Homo-oligomer: A and B are copies of this chain.
Amino acid sequence: MSDHPLESVFRPRAVALYGISRNMQNRSNQFFLRGLMDQGFHEAAPLYLVNPNADAIAGLRCYPSLSDCPDPVDYVISLVPAETAEGLVEECIAKGVRALHLYTGGFAENLDPDRAALERRLIDRARSGGLRVIGPNCMGLYQPAARMAFIPGHPKEAGDISVVCQSGGNAMDIISGLGQRGARFAKVVSFGNGTDLGAAELLEYAAVDPEARIVLAYVEDTSDGRALFEALRRCARAKPTIVLKGGISSAGARAARSHTASLAGSHEVFIAACRQAGAAVVHSLDELIDLAVALSTRLSSVAGPRAVLLAVGGGYSVLTTDALAGCGIDLPELDATTLARLREVVPTDGNSIENPIDTGYMGEDSEEALRIVTDAAAHDANSDFLITMLRGSNLSPEEEQRAIKELAVLQERSGTPVAIAARRDVGQLAEESLRLAYDRGVAVFPGPVSAGRAVGLLLEWRRQREGLPSLP
């Protein structure tokens, strides 16, 4: 994709942090300097710090201005206040910078006409000078392959999920939430007010970016409806695309206005447009993350809404079954072969071989019996997928990983997608276990209902795509 006009924005050869503070406790240093150094950007490419009052910060040399930086600079991260941003735009243009990321806030989102005018002026000047702007009022880029990050602690390995996100905080929640599940990222863009580079252009890019296999979008501003729809359509026809809209309530829309100066049109119209475009629509960050996990594991091939649930606890199974029904997931009666196999190994008292299968009272040496139960469940002819809880709350990471490997093999052998459900929180599993599961194509969810909800959303999305060309 070296010929795409945004390629130079996304693959800077040299970055300058402009307005970096000498005080390493300063918030923006904590974010950007530590983020870039954590990824080792400075070890692979020039990282210039611009601060006229310091010689060096965190071991890196400081320059008094952008023009003093010895070599070309492609990408500038602005940490200066809004009042001085116009001067910085001129400096960037003079230096031949390709992209300016304005972490700087205090523009149109302040709901002050003077600040909105300043933002407009600044963007117009940047455009006339050939400078693209990310923001203002945003966290910018996380792309591990380019060693860029806006906060330390994000995964260093690259993956194939790209995120187009109007909120920096939500971007961080997606990275940490999906990252915990084992997923990795191609490019994450937090674009804030999106005055120059907005959702539409970023989605157009994601549509053709070969690094992005799945695209997630969080959008507040839908005022540029036509362009957004066209971009969504192109993206959603090329790869699985999930959209979360913020500001769908009237109070939420007001919050979005003072967050990113966003103007929202009709929520219903936008959602209908997403669906027409072929994108999946979700209603919360949790749903976004769960559906992304489903789409990037074997669960993506689930044939229908009929699940076998392997759980522990009678009342828990009953309530979970009800909640699954609320997500459109049915637990069918098991077929006769499955029942016969279960009857052989599951003691009647205290257990249930109805679906849900409750094996709370299996006795001490039940490991082999439980293996048979799981195998029988995965081969049930009446069911489309299996939801199973890893046995025991106190498995060692090694035991977890052995169980996950077995489930991965079972999933391939049986052709039945498997969803592993924690009891309440995926954090109950070890980090390496979650990575292993993801890498083997086994989806892990915080609980059985999240698993069912993700499959429900996936099937809804698939129904809505009927008539559209299949995804590659």
Contact = CB atoms under 8 A, between A and B. Distances in A.
Interface in A304-341: 313-319, 321-326, 330-333
A192 B119 CA distance: 66
Choose among A246, A252, A315, A326 the residue with the greatest number of B CB atoms under 10 Å from its CB: A315
Contacts of A169: 313-316, 360
Given A314-B167, A314-B169, A315-B218, A110 B321 contact: no
Contacts of A403: none
Contacts of A356: 251, 255
Nearest to A110: B348
A83 B73 CA distance: 83
Nearest to A260: B314
A405 interface: no
Contact of A170 (B166, B319, B354): B319
Contact of A354 (B112, B250, B255, B318): B255
Given A105-B349, A259-B352, A349-B81, A246 B319 contact: yes
Contacts of A314: 167-169, 255, 259-260
Contacts of A355: 251, 254-255
Nearest to A425: B425
Nearest to A267: B322
Given A249-B325, A252-B325, A259 B318 contact: yes
Interface in A134-172: 137, 165-171
Choose among A112, A248, A255, A332 the residue with the greatest number of B CB atoms under 10 Å from its CB: A255
A322 B166 CA distance: 16
A72 interface: no
A343 to B, nearest CB: 12
A358 interface: yes
A318 B348 contact: no
A360 B171 CA distance: 16
Contacts of A198: none
Interface in A239-276: 244, 246-252, 254-260
A179 interface: no
Contacts of A254: 333, 354-355
27 contacts: A81-B349, A106-B348, A165-B315, A167-B314, A167-B315, A167-B318, A169-B360, A170-B315, A173-B316, A218-B315, A246-B318, A247-B318, A247-B322, A248-B325, A249-B321, A249-B322, A249-B324, A249-B326, A251-B321, A251-B325, A251-B356, A252-B318, A254-B333, A254-B355, A255-B331, A255-B355, A260-B314
The 9 closest A-B pairs by CB, nearest first: A167-B315, A249-B325, A106-B349, A259-B314, A170-B315, A169-B313, A252-B322, A252-B321, A246-B318
Given A137-B350, A169-B316, A255-B355, 17 more contacts: A27-B361, A106-B349, A106-B350, A109-B352, A112-B348, A165-B315, A167-B315, A168-B314, A169-B315, A169-B360, A170-B315, A247-B321, A251-B324, A252-B318, A254-B355, A255-B331, A258-B358
